[in-house]
Amino acid sequence: MKKKLAMLLAAVLAFGAVSVPVMADDEAAAGGKVGISMPTQSLERWNRDGAYLQEQFEAAGYEVELTYSDNEVDQQVNDIQNLISDGVNLLVIAAIDGEALNTVMDEAVEAGIPVIILFLI
């Protein structure tokens, strides 16, 4: 199910679709915490995408922590480390610099947290 959610989420962001992720009732009822790391609030695209993701995950019963990193790689790394420390069950990251996130992604893997990375195009 996590793989299907990841693929659906990627499609939603890539194509601007407005569909709601479909989850089994028991999965939505179980809830959990989703951490979303966006690159900046200075572009409408990331404000819209962040708000949309937050809305969809909350509607599905998840608690959401949304961060913006002001296009600063060090800030994004720090934000992601904080999300991991806060005990998120899933990370959704629009990476400013994917290579710079290698270490923090290793931390997420070690913590058993699935990660969806959205690349800036």
Listed by start position, the domains of the chain span 2-119
Q: Write down the pTM of the prediction.
A: 0.76
Of 108, 53, 46, the closest CA to residue 77 belongs to 108
Phi, psi torsion values for 12, nearest 5 degrees? -60, -45
Q: Which helix (H) or strand (E) holds 38?
A: strand 33-38
pLDDT single digits (tens) 67-78:
999 999 999 999
Q: Is the pLDDT score of 55 beyond 60?
A: yes
What's the rounded mean pLDDT across residues 84-113? 95
Greatest CA separation for the chain? 38
98 falls in which pLDDT band (50, 70, 90)? confident
16 falls in which pLDDT band (50, 70, 90)? very low
**Superfamily (CATH) of domain 2-119:** Response regulator (3.40.50.2300)
Task: Calculate the CA 53 to chain-centre distance.
Answer: 8
Q: Is the pLDDT score of 104 beyond 80?
A: yes
